[in-house]
Structure 1
């Protein structure tokens, strides 16, 4: 590693625009997409802002680490699905749940009552055609101006990337699964 000098001058101009709700996308093959979204939710909640989290691939009865913490903090989190497609016993049922879940999430976004809404793992139902991409794009374009929406999942469509204000692609460099280390509570959940 080469040591470098810390910057002493700002190398980018300070933005002069108006503050408004943002569309943020966390995508890519690396870990951390949902974790980063949850961090934003915690940051907003810590500032006294109203936050709602929808998880498109988790079951409503899920009790993962984020559910336990968000419940303690009073951040509503709702599972909308029946697990990942490779675990589903009925893909038509999974598709129906995703579409019903999208209706809930869309209503929350349009209502404008939350500062931030997280749509965790929404890319899967969008990519599978269970939730129409155009409906998501339209909702994001028409949302109240103060609402921030964070969307996560692998393979974000180009149309969503174009619409978003901030897109972060998590890149897989190395993963413990490849070394035979299984998922662990507190890391993957």
Structure 2
């Protein structure tokens, strides 16, 4: 065997060794995943919190609502602080039968009226409470609810009580920055969206079809 053949043979053995190691790692990984799947047998409604300072929390929540609708489930959305301006997700999802309830006062820094904001939050929350007691609704999104607790427009205990006593199989999605610890404590899944960079901070205006 000449040197070129020896080199080729050696490279083949190295490749085969790497392939075998990869195979063994993947087998170990699969065994771990299979074990977790086998252990996860409970079925229940999930409380998902999407929080953090990054962009995309509501977008992610609407994606989950769309998924539920795609499976023929009934979903509803309560939007806090967003106001009555056009919302692309609402335009689409209402056509698919998703009910929207919107806190019409808009962002609290625009109204600068705590009494008005508190009354608007109360009205929106009453709609939320009805949804959270309706076992025919499979998935409820409480968009930007976290601000209602941060600004003390809603009582934390009242919110926690409604979440804890909702129908067993009802899923709930809560979005917004700085989620209250009491909500985080009862959540099943919490994802924090990290703000690395945002176009708006560099003077780029919010754009139709991408930002709203």
When normalised by structure 1's length, the TM-score is 0.91
1:163 aligns with 2:191: no
User: How many equivalent pairs are there?
Assistant: 184
RMSD: 1.6
C-alpha contact 1:62 1:79 (8 A) present in aligned 2 = no
Take 2:51 and 2:207, find their aligned partners in 1: how far apart are those partners?
A: 22
How far residue 187 of structure 1 moved from its aligned partner, in angstroms, is 1.8
Structure 2 partner of 1:22 = 46
How far residue 89 of structure 1 moved from its aligned partner, in angstroms, is 4.8
Q: How does 1:79-118 map to 2 (within 5 A)?
A: 79-118=102-141
C-alpha contact 2:105 2:117 (8 A) present in aligned 1 = yes
C-alpha contact 1:50 1:114 (8 A) present in aligned 2 = yes
Structure 1 partner of 2:61 = 37
Q: What SS does structure 1 have at the residue aligned with 2:132? A: helix
CA displacement, residues 145-176 of structure 1 (integer Å, 9 cap, x when unaligned): 01111100000011111100000000001111
Take 1:82 and 1:158, find their aligned partners in 2: how far apart are those partners?
A: 26
The alpha-carbon distance between structure 1 residues 122 and 81, as it changes in their structure 2 partners (threshold 3 A), is farther
C-alpha contact 1:37 1:150 (8 A) present in aligned 2 = yes
Structure 2 partner of 1:185 = 208
**Structure 1 segments of 4 or more deviating over 2 A?**
5-12
Structure 1 partner of 2:86 = 63
Decide which structure has the larger Cα Rg and report it: 2
C-alpha contact 2:55 2:195 (8 A) present in aligned 1 = yes
Take 1:66 and 1:155, find their aligned partners in 2: how far apart are those partners?
A: 23
What are the ranges of 5 or more consecutive residues in structure 1 without an aligned counterpart? none
Structure that is richer in helix per residue: 2
CA displacement, residues 82-119 of structure 1 (integer Å, 9 cap, x when unaligned): 11111115321111010111111011111222000000
How far residue 81 of structure 1 moved from its aligned partner, in angstroms, is 3.3
Take 1:155 and 1:149, find their aligned partners in 2: how far apart are those partners?
A: 18
What are the ranges of 5 or more consecutive residues in structure 2 without an aligned counterpart? 1-21
Structure 2 partner of 1:142 = 165
Q: What SS does structure 1 have at the residue aligned with 2:133? A: helix
Take 1:83 and 1:178, find their aligned partners in 2: how far apart are those partners?
A: 21
When normalised by structure 2's length, the TM-score is 0.82
